[in-house]
């Protein structure tokens, strides 16, 4: 796989990885699989550490996908997390569809991703 510019111009490789990536960087399928696994595990750890109660699987899966995509910093400061910590799981799930902008632009790909994450999140309730 060869690094490419995402819709807002950020160099990206594999399944959306952007940290220290330069256009033209390459990765094998095996490297991409390992990188994705590592990042998914890290996103799950962020979600798990952010609440004091166990989350239903659907909520946990959807939110880890969200954290993988937006990063832990954006998640930590979000209304979504505030609602989650307050026990309003449905409200937290519904917040996902607000996160459809990148670089100030509403992106159709993010709308589809967030709709899918919301559906998974709500299915866990």
The model's pLDDT over 95-112, given as tens digits with 9 standing for 90+, comes to: 999 999 999 999 999 999
The parent domain of residue 105 ranges over 4-123
The model's pLDDT over 34-85, given as tens digits with 9 standing for 90+, comes to: 999 999 999 999 999 999 999 999 999 999 999 999 999 999 999 999 999 9
The Cα–Cα gap between 70 and 102 comes to 10
pTM for the model stands at 0.92
The Cα–Cα gap between 30 and 37 comes to 11
- H or E element: which one contains 66? helix 57-70
pLDDT category of residue 124 using cuts at 50, 70 and 90: confident
The CATH number given to whatever domain includes residue 46 is 1.10.530.40
């Amino acid at each position: 796989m060869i690094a490419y510019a995402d819709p807002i111009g950020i160099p990206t490789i594999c399944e959306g990885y952007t940290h220290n990536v330069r256009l033209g960087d390459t990765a094998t399928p095996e490297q991409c699989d390992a990188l994705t696994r590592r990042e998914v595990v890290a996103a799950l750890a962020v979600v798990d550490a952010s609440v004091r109660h166990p989350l239903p699987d659907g909520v946990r899966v959807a939110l880890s996908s969200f954290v993988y995509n937006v990063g832990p910093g954006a998640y930590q400061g979000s209304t979504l997390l505030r609602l989650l910590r307050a026990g309003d799981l449905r409200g937290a799930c519904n917040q996902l569809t607000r996160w459809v902008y990148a670089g100030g632009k509403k992106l159709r790909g993010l709308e589809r991703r967030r709709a899918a994450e919301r559906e998974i999140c709500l299915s866990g309730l």
